[in-house]
Structure 1
């Protein structure tokens, strides 16, 4: 065998190979461009995006996809070619066509990069399988079910406020936290980064709601979760309280961020490239994050099923769900869906909470107006944390939340869909079967035809002034259609309770008047930090 390899090595024309490989690579990208099977050559876009997926992959890896795509739309117009077979459409009317019920469009191969334990409701691409999963899961997030979860949400919001109260009292005494804690007292305020605290709150809420127990982040005031050292062993001992599983602590939020960036960057690359790209150092670390995050779900599910409880949580509701044939979810599928709930229920809420606090701290007029509404409607009631009935009568609170979700859509990118048989027509442009289309939320949330000339400003009043029909067809924080976020009722209730309770209790300012909300985007667009000064209101 070794002799044969030596023979090949000495007789191959390596100069020919050196010329053939790049020539084949170039032809593989040029031929589809000139053949133009989907009729996309007429649409403008970045030069390299016309020939290769590499341009979009590079943009995603750098963490600012939504902003870059938005700049491309400002430069080229509403139709921008992001890849050889991917067109971004920044038109509000496109939203209801690309993602509509009954149009037959399917999720693209992009979603394959998000599969971990097995396909869940988020990343399954088969329409029948998605319908089966949605039937089991959707009832969990009905308005009636969401009301049942309110006590747990309020419990952790209360713990959160108690922690800020405790630190505020220490700050007034002149104390400061250690370097790792990062808080201090100065000028009669407690100064801290509210992003980690938003993460602690969101993770503890979803931990209790999904698995019947919090991660303990609020109490510990740090990013932590436990995962099994051996995931296979943990899965095999699933639900067996007599089997001991060795565990380790990990920084869950950091792992979650790494997983999002990896899956996003991998998802925009051709499937044939992925087995090779994943061996590059940055992508290799991302794979570890994917596995570690799955371990959190495996551990939490095993722990929860090993200690049965009469409490209400999402896992018990998932166990009780049945598809059209009366079948429940299997063990592995249950864990995969639990992982989806963990990711969707933590990162989105924490990102949005942090962004809304930032905008309220930046806009003192808006903060004062919101606090006036809170004082007038809730002032005579002694509860530290608002409840569901109270927040229903706070229209300005809803406007403040919606305006924050508009400017900081945590899911800001255009989710890719494959045009079905028969094609789709959008604003007189026809797209053939197999074309990949997306509508970027970041861009349509900045369409001045809908939102006005001051679309970059945080101004909740626009929600009472603008045409509601235009707003409803353009506002897209949770997506629309059959693939829309099933947990949007729960997510919005969380934000109502969190923002109402925090802003009623504290006056909040930014660390500096020119402070920007710096972000980085994996699958979700996440703030990097938000330094604020808080003062307890009398």
Structure 2
């Protein structure tokens, strides 16, 4: 006996899809763990992560969530499994606990399919990664990086001064990622990107953006 979708009336397919949508909405709003907590926020945002992901891709996530904080308060549900906080004490409490694992979303943040401290949800592996990275954050090593940071700050001030004197607008959303990568290049990779000094993205940055966009999508 064979079976195909052609044997199923379209009305039944429509009813099944409609029922699935209704169940998804009811579950997210009233039956899910976050739904039962009655967390403030637009009802439409609670049923999927589409708004949150689109805000990230448009580089408007921070601004859009800020607008929601202004309207709904310091705790807002912005997705089916996403809650944003603007309370310092709550954030400290969240990061203090070790009871919660990272979501599978972070598993995509790997290099060559090798897990790292950002991508892994395994506490044992994360602990080993932290021990490996700990020496870089010791006070003496941080002091050694001071000259690098100072030189990058000088480049930043010069870039701001040049653009302001030239009457140009300054895209801060673009500027600070460039500064961050310039600093990481010198302190971690041992490479000079000079994005702030030149005002242009380095090839490494372009490739990194494409890689990250691929992971997000």
| TM-score normalised by structure 1 residue count | 0.33
Deviations 1:116-158 (A, max 9, x none): 4332222322222111100010111211112223444556667
Matches within 5 A, 1:191-210: 191-192=167-168, 202-210=180-188
Do residues 130 (structure 1) and 126 (structure 2) align?
yes
Deviations 1:76-113 (A, max 9, x none): 2333222344433433321221111x553333344234
The Cα shift of 1:114 comes to 3.0
The Cα shift of 1:199 comes to 6.2
Matches within 5 A, 1:322-471: none
- 1:215 matched to which residue of 2? 193
* Pairing partner for 2:103 from 90, 105, 108: 108
Question: Distance in 2 between the 1:199 and 1:71 partners?
Answer: 23
In 1, are the aligned partners of 2:29 and 2:43 still within 8 Å (CA)? no
- 1:79 matched to which residue of 2? 75
Do residues 64 (structure 1) and 42 (structure 2) align?
no
Question: Distance in 1 between the 2:152 and 2:89 partners?
Answer: 40
In 1, are the aligned partners of 2:117 and 2:126 still within 8 Å (CA)? yes
Question: Distance in 1 between the 2:108 and 2:149 partners?
Answer: 32
Question: Distance in 2 between the 1:69 and 1:253 partners?
Answer: 26
The runs of 5 or more residues in structure 1 that have no matched partner are 169-182, 226-251, 267-282, 284-538
In 2, are the aligned partners of 1:38 and 1:85 still within 8 Å (CA)? yes
- 1:19 matched to which residue of 2? 15
In 2, are the aligned partners of 1:78 and 1:90 still within 8 Å (CA)? yes
- The structure having more radius of gyration, on CA atoms, is 1
Q: Secondary structure at the match of 1:57?
A: helix
Aligned residues: 211
| TM-score normalised by structure 2 residue count | 0.71
Change in CA separation of 1:18 and 1:72 when aligned onto 2, cut-off 3 Å? same
Question: Distance in 2 between the 1:106 and 1:191 partners?
Answer: 48
Question: Distance in 2 between the 1:191 and 1:205 partners?
Answer: 27
* Pairing partner for 2:145 from 135, 144, 149: 149
The runs of 5 or more residues in structure 2 that have no matched partner are none
- 1:119 matched to which residue of 2? 115
- 1:94 matched to which residue of 2? 90
Matches within 5 A, 1:273-284: 283=217
Question: Distance in 2 between the 1:8 and 1:111 partners?
Answer: 38
Q: Secondary structure at the match of 1:23?
A: helix
Question: Distance in 1 between the 2:37 and 2:44 partners?
Answer: 12
Structure richer in helix, relative to its length: 2
Change in CA separation of 1:262 and 1:48 when aligned onto 2, cut-off 3 Å? farther
- 1:53 matched to which residue of 2? 49
Question: Distance in 2 between the 1:97 and 1:142 partners?
Answer: 25
